[in-house]
Each structure stands twice: as structure tokens, then as C-alpha cells.
Amino acid sequence: MPTPKQKELINTFISQLSNDAKQIYEPVVEHLLKLGYVPKKVRENIAFTHPVLNKYMVKMGIKKGKHPVPFLALRFSACRDYSQRFADIVKSPISKYPHKIPGCLENKCSWCLGEPESHIYSYTFPDSETKYHCGAYVPEIPNISLDDVPEILKLITEQDKYFQKYS
């Protein structure tokens, strides 16, 4: 159950959203709270963290600029069964940094828990080459829509099971 200050943080964010955006963000917030995630203010954004591991699951906020828009970033590195849309989200940083190898694959990082294969993002290209990206990365979901919500909730639940295993 969120504290009054946490409720105020959430309500302040939600109040800035359009009715369409509220339909996307409210179910995500409710699901995170139901699973016990703790909202914390991080600069101008909200990060929902695991209460024991203190690791981000979701980060959301409003991108500043001429046309402010809400954003949602989701950690789903322990998930393996997701749509092509989310595979493309994983592909983006891998394509941007094609030679970057996650530190845990080289025994240079201990941030995530468990075997590296259980918590790193992977993408298999059409030529069958598989590349990886750090599992601590919380990728933003571009052009988020109401159609994404069921999969986002599923991925949160799956990632939470991974966190629960190591808490």
C-alpha cells in the first residue's frame, strides 16, 4: 500500500495525462502497486522499484519540450516470450551498440542476479546471429498505445517472478 506521499506522487503524474494516456498508465501503476513495487521520485520522473532488491521495474514521466509527452520504460530482461514489437525494442540498443557485450557475460558485473542467460536481453538477427544487451537496461517503449497494455502487464508479472526468485 503506497504512503500518502507516494499516492500524491502518482496522482500528480496521472493528473498531467490526457484521458487516452490515463487508460495506458493507470492499469500499469495499479498492477505495479498490487505486486508491491514502490514508487520513488527520480528527478522529474517516477521509478517503481522492487521493495527488497531496490531495482527498477518501470520508469515513467513526462518528456519536457515543445510538446511534452508521457513515456514509459520497462525492464523485461528476464522475459523470453514477447511480441515482435518488444523484440524490436530490444533490437534497438543492440543495433546501436553492436560490439558492446554485457559485463556479466565477461564476469565483469554482478548487478543482476542469476545466470546471465536468465536476465540479459537477446535478439537473433535474420542471419541467425544472436547479440546481447545488459539486463539492467530499462528500455523506453516508443509510441506506446492502449494495445500494448496487456503485454506490458504480462512482462511486468514475468519480470517480477525473476525478482522474487532472487529477493
Do residue 71 and residue 10 come from a single domain? yes
Mean local confidence (pLDDT), 77-105: 87
Do residue 43 and residue 103 come from a single domain? no
Q: HEC profile for the chain? A: CCCHHHHHHHHHHHHCCCHHHHHHHHHHHHHHHHCCCEEEEECCEEEEECCCCCCEEEEEEEECCCCCEEEEEECCCCCCCCCHHHHHHHHHHHHHCCCCCCHHHHCCCCCCCCCHHHCCEEEECCCCCEEEECCCCCCECCCCCHHHHHHHHHHHHHHHHHHHHCC
Do residue 142 and residue 73 come from a single domain? yes
Neighbouring CB atoms inside 10 A of 107's CB total 8
Do residue 51 and residue 30 come from a single domain? yes
pTM: 0.91
Residue 111 has a pLDDT of 67
**Counted domains in the chain:** 2
Please tell me the distance from the alpha carbon of residue 163 to that of residue 25, in angstroms, as a whole number: 22
Average pLDDT in the chain: 90
Do residue 74 and residue 88 come from a single domain? no
Please tell me the distance from the alpha carbon of residue 29 to that of residue 45, in angstroms, as a whole number: 13
CATH of the domain at 35: 3.90.1150
Do residue 28 and residue 42 come from a single domain? yes
pLDDT tens column, 95-138: 888 778 777 777 777 667 677 677 788 888 999 998 888 888 89
Residue 70 has a pLDDT of 96
Do residue 34 and residue 99 come from a single domain? no
Residue 165 has pLDDT above 70, yes or no: yes
Tell me the residue range of the domain where 10 lies. 4-78+138-165
C-alpha cell at 126: 535474420
